[in-house]
Copies of this chain bind each other. A is one copy, B any other.
Amino acid sequence: MFIDALVKEIKNKKCNIVVGLDPRIGSIPEGVKNKYFKECGHTIKAAAEAILEFNKEIIDNVYDFVPAVKPQIAFYEQYGVEGLRAYMKTCKYAKEKGMLVIGDIKRGDIGSTSVAYSNAHLGNIDIEGTIHETFAVDAITVNPYMGGDTLEEFMKDIKEKEKGMFVLVKTSNKGSGQLQDLEVNGKKIYEVVAGLVNDLSQQSIGKCGYASVGAVVGATYPEQSRTLRKLMKESYFLVPGYGAQGATVEDIVDCFNEDGLGAIINSSRGIIFAYQKSEKGYTAEKYGQAARQEALEMRDAINKGLETVEKCYW
């Protein structure tokens, strides 16, 4: 099962972080992109190839100690078909390097449409008896607004293809409370969604005791994450908001259970564009090493934080 593979990697690597691959062409080192621009001009194809090269270098520098990557599909989608090809190749490359891939796609729709998304991003597509995989990653993020029936459509691939999903529960942005924090009969909307997630997680518990149905819980709301930790005991939390979005180690330790497991903390810009922090002596030429260094520091900071509160699995 997805969750068993994830927890195994986390334990082996003693690392609770996921690197977000959110490439912006404007932030990719000149040396990488100009090679493609010189060859093909300022085309979408050139941008997509630069992104892929950039991603590979990041992956090469983190795969030995980071369990998973989380490409945000919007940053590829904006480069159209070529961008999505780069997304697909990025996912494939990370898998070849032994990493788990969480596609941050935040999809969700009614019945047959959710099935189509599941075909695209978790399972496969049957063309007159011939089976093809397209974007197939290990797990995806999904949006619950349309209701539990729309989430259930992903369960078939989660069970049969050993995949996972992380349902948006409490997101990291400033305006997340506008709907998610509203109170219904003494219960916040994010708690209602947590209930849906918990129900689905019971159908997908692995040998490790955790479930392949998890939740997105923003690091920027530590109080809420403490509540949510109790409501979804077997769900892994995918936690955005660390680093560039402002959350610290103290903010995320309560996303973990007492066994030192239960959360994987994402950082995107803070790691992949670390080379821009010239005050740390990083250079654009060695952007991969800068990313590695930042990821190592993030891993260590989180592990230290977990040790402080006696939440370690070692």
Identical chains in the assembly: 2
A116-B180 in contact (CB<8A): no
Cα distance, A81 to B48, chains bound together (Å): 13
In A88-124, which residues have CB < 8 Å from any B CB? 88, 106-111, 113-114, 116-117, 119-121
A110-B182 in contact (CB<8A): no
Separation in Å of the A118 CB from the closest CB of chain B?
8
A74-B113 in contact (CB<8A): yes
B148-A178 in contact (CB<8A): yes
A177-B128 in contact (CB<8A): no
Q: Pick from A77, A119, A129, A135 the residue with the most CB of B within 10 Å.
A: A77
Neighbour of A80 across the interface among B37, B88, B113, B180, CB < 8 A: B88
B75-A116 in contact (CB<8A): yes
Is residue A47 contacting chain B, with contact meaning CB distance below 8 A? Answer: yes
A149-B128 in contact (CB<8A): no
Separation in Å of the A20 CB from the closest CB of chain B?
10
B189-A182 in contact (CB<8A): yes
Could you say which of A139-147, A229-237, A250-258, A287-295 contacts chain B? A139-147
How does the 8 Å CB contact mask read for A58-86 relative to B, with 1 for contact and 0 for none? 00000000000000101101111101110
Lowest 8 A-B CB distances belong to which pairs? Answer: A80-B134, A147-B175, A149-B175, A42-B130, A74-B116, A147-B178, A145-B145, A110-B173
Give 4 new A-B contacts, CB below 8 A, not counting A46-B127, A182-B184: A47-B125, A75-B116, A78-B125, A143-B145
> Can you list 27 A-B pairs with a CB-CB distance of less than 8 A?
A25-B127, A42-B128, A44-B132, A72-B109, A72-B113, A72-B116, A74-B109, A74-B120, A77-B117, A79-B120, A80-B132, A80-B134, A80-B135, A143-B143, A144-B179, A145-B179, A146-B175, A147-B175, A147-B177, A147-B178, A148-B175, A149-B174, A149-B175, A150-B173, A178-B196, A182-B192, A184-B184
